[in-house]
């Protein structure tokens, strides 16, 4: 995908994530308050994209991973998440320098298909986020990153339509 089309996809994902976030009547009824583990609920899907609500209990997270060939957008709708991500200038071969950022309610993070990150809820209450992907998420590769090491792929998981990997 060329840079212009990638920018268009990320803009669409971002605007759709913001629109869903601003419509709690769509996502609030799907909250699983007592799940005790990370959960997800499908909000919308078509041939080319999908939107999910994810619930992050205190301490809940997901390992360092990519999104296959999908671009995406994350919008935090309640709580605070922490994202650790590979600095875009480093990639996998230059040591995979990791950066960390705090994602409070209202934060929107769009990303292209090369984005590698993990997400965790280090706060004291449930956090909620809306995730959009285009094309629909079909694979994720998980990575290991030890001190001073290069990122190395550990495993790749594939999904069927209607299932979520994130």
pLDDT tens per residue across span 68-101: 999 999 999 999 999 999 865 555 445 557 899 9
Nearest to 17 by CA among 7, 30, 26: 26
* Residue 130 domain flag: yes
CA 12 to chain centre: 16
Query: What is the value of pTM for the model shown?
Result: 0.88
Q: Any idea what the CATH number is for the domain that residue 117 is in? A: 2.60.120.10
pLDDT recorded at residue 93: 47
Residue 7 in any domain: the answer is: yes
Instruction: Return the pLDDT at 61.
Output: 96
Residue from 83, 79, 71, 53 nearest 133 by CA: 71
The low-confidence residues of the chain, meaning pLDDT below 50, are: 92-93
Share of the chain above pLDDT 70, in %: 87
CA distance 135 to 89: 24
Whether residue 66 lies inside any domain: the answer is yes
Task: Give the number of domains in the chain.
Answer: 1
Is 163 within the bounds of a domain? no
Does residue 97 fall inside a structural domain?
Answer: yes
In a domain, 166, yes or no: no
User: Which domain does 80 fall in, by range?
Assistant: 3-158
């Amino acid at each position: 995908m060329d840079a212009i089309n990638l920018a268009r996809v990320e803009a669409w994902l971002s605007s759709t994530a913001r629109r869903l976030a601003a419509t709690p009547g769509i996502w609030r009824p799907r909250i699983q308050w007592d799940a005790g583990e990370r959960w997800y609920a499908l909000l919308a899907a078509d041939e080319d994209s999908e939107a999910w609500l994810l619930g992050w209990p205190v301490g809940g997270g997901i390992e360092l991973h990519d999104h296959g060939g999908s671009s995406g957008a994350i919008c935090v709708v309640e709580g605070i998440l922490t994202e650790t991500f590979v600095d875009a200038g480093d990639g996998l071969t230059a040591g995979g320098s990791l950066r960390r950022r705090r994602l409070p309610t209202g934060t929107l993070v769009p990303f292209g298909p090369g984005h590698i990150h993990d997400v965790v809820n280090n706060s004291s209450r449930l956090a909620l986020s809306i995730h959009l992907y285009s094309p629909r998420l079909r694979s994720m590769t998980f990575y290991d990153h030890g001190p001073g090491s290069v990122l190395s792929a550990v495993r790749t998981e594939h999904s069927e339509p209607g299932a979520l990997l994130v």
